[in-house]
Structure 1
């Protein structure tokens, strides 16, 4: 038997009168904060009405930066602003595209009527 093992067996188990204290570590679950960066990039490239898509992209990048730093509240704030700007950009762009299609269709019909009227005379 090794000398250290002999000393441990002679001394016996450790005796402690103090209650066992435990340490609890609360690990906060990672809150998923959507930064809407893909939607903002799409609006910037294709539906950039009144530069709202570009501004939404800037807020999305700010939201991603805040999320990387660990500021969840700041990330949520920037993400909420980016989401609102993306919605407004999408609505304005759809209205603008729909209006342009209606104007082109109406103009084409009126032009064809005017040409046919000129041919009759």
Structure 2
């Protein structure tokens, strides 16, 4: 069997004595600041207990405006406030909607039992 030996180029110190210069290019990356407009719009349309969804939508629009101007710090501040308001609007909306449904079912069940009881008393079923 014949074995072949593969060698790449030998890396080492540069042969000439000239100083090595480096160039650094800073590429400014656009930091993505989410403005939560869609979430705020959803909360405004469907979970708008205490108008928190509308207020969150206003802060989201302010965040988007700041982002367009180039003020990323201001955009981040408004976006953070909009996110907090959206979380509260969603949690309160879910709790109050669920509570309203449970209360409604309880009231209808109580009214139905009172109605049956009054019908039985009127028909002579004691």
| Alignment-derived partner of residue 7 in structure 2 | none
| Alignment-derived partner of residue 67 in structure 1 | 67
| Alignment-derived partner of residue 77 in structure 1 | 77
Q: Deviations over 1:55-99 (max 9, x none)?
A: 100100111111111111111111000000001011111111011
**Separation in 1 of the partners of 2:22 and 2:106?**
78
Structure 2, unmatched stretches of 5+, are 1-18, 122-126
Structure 1, unmatched stretches of 5+, are 1-18
What is the TM-score normalised by the length of structure 2?
Answer: 0.75
Compute the displacement of 1:114 (Å).
Answer: 0.3
| Alignment-derived partner of residue 47 in structure 1 | 47
Q: How is 1:110-121 mapped onto 2 (pairs within 5 angstroms)?
A: 110-121=110-121
Compute the displacement of 1:23 (Å).
Answer: 6.8
Runs of 4+ in 1 over 3 A off after TM superposition: 21-25
What is the TM-score normalised by the length of structure 1?
Answer: 0.78
**Separation in 2 of the partners of 1:23 and 1:61?**
41
- The structure with the largest helix share of the pair is 1
Aligned residue pairs total 102
